[in-house]
Amino acid sequence: MEKPVILDGNRVATHVKDGLKATIVKLKENHVQPCLATILVGDDPSSATYVKMKGNACEKLGIESKRIHLPEQTTTEQLLAVIQQLNNDENVHGILLQHPVPNQIDERKAFEAIAVEKDVDGVTSWGYGQTALGFGQYPSCTPAAIIKIMDEYGISAEGKHAVVVGRSPILGKPVSALLLNRNATVTTCHSFTANLPELVKQADIVVAAVGKPNFIKGEWLKEGAVVLDAGYNKGNIGDVEYDTCFNKASAITPVPGGVGPVTISMLLKHTVESAEKKLLETVQKERELVSQ
């Protein structure tokens, strides 16, 4: 068997970001500055690193990064008030609440407070529902990244059996829906799934989204499977045992440098698209006023 294709997320992310540059210039010419607001509650070092990475990526591309850091003891009501302020701020086009939040906060309630038109990270139930039905504008960014990688490398889901290991509301479930909408036959596995290795063995496409290092073993794969590793664990380790899976796969994402960079690029893409939509709505309203 030939060596597998290494699905280079850095290359895909660069392509996505390069494709946004002309739109950003056009928006600025029309006095619109794309802006992503990120909310970090508490002092979790990993979350702080992720927020910093996202902010830096924004600034490199010419997107404004509005960073809001709230104390560890923030209440749900206080967080909701901040989200509402951002919803009402016409200069903010995307809102990202960094997960996880401290235990005293009702995270789902906070996610649901984000206006759907600014839900560029695809965390609201409304946004998820639209994604599942096939017309969502901003699917969760990691699922969107997985689909983008497949598209960039010409990997079709149609007629394929995809096994998704993990069912989180912002990764496993939405990526299952996106693959189903691409005409794959999808099996979504989780902690109660019996005979997991046997199910993975049937997969043409494996999405690892379980949050456990080196969980998916090469011996579980059938020859030539496509492996998309959405896991990121301590020590730069993914959810698949890379070396053993590499020997069985036809294509595989590395960790780091696979799904992660594309996830951030999709967040930027959704933010720019939200700004563009806002500009189009403003222009349309002005035309309607002139015609009256």
The catalytic site residues sit at: 54, 98, 121
Distances from the Cα of 286 to the Cα of 76, 217, 290, angstroms? 38, 58, 6
Q: How many helices (H) and strands (E) does the chain have?
A: 11, 9
Buried b (16+ CB within 10 A) or exposed e, 218-240: bebbeeebbbbbbbbeeeebbbb
Euclidean distance between CA atoms 138 and 218, whole angstroms: 33
Euclidean distance between CA atoms 228 and 146, whole angstroms: 7
* CA nearest neighbour of 13 among 143, 145, 175: 145
* CA nearest neighbour of 153 among 9, 1, 3: 9
* CA nearest neighbour of 200 among 175, 217, 178, 177: 217
* CA nearest neighbour of 258 among 218, 291, 228, 290: 228
Report which secondary-structure segment, H or E, holds 250.
strand 249-252
In the β-sheet with 94-97, what is the strand arrangement from edge to edge?
64-70, 35-41, 94-97
DSSP 94: E
Reported as half-sphere exposure (CB side, CA atoms, 13 A), residue 199 has a value of: 19
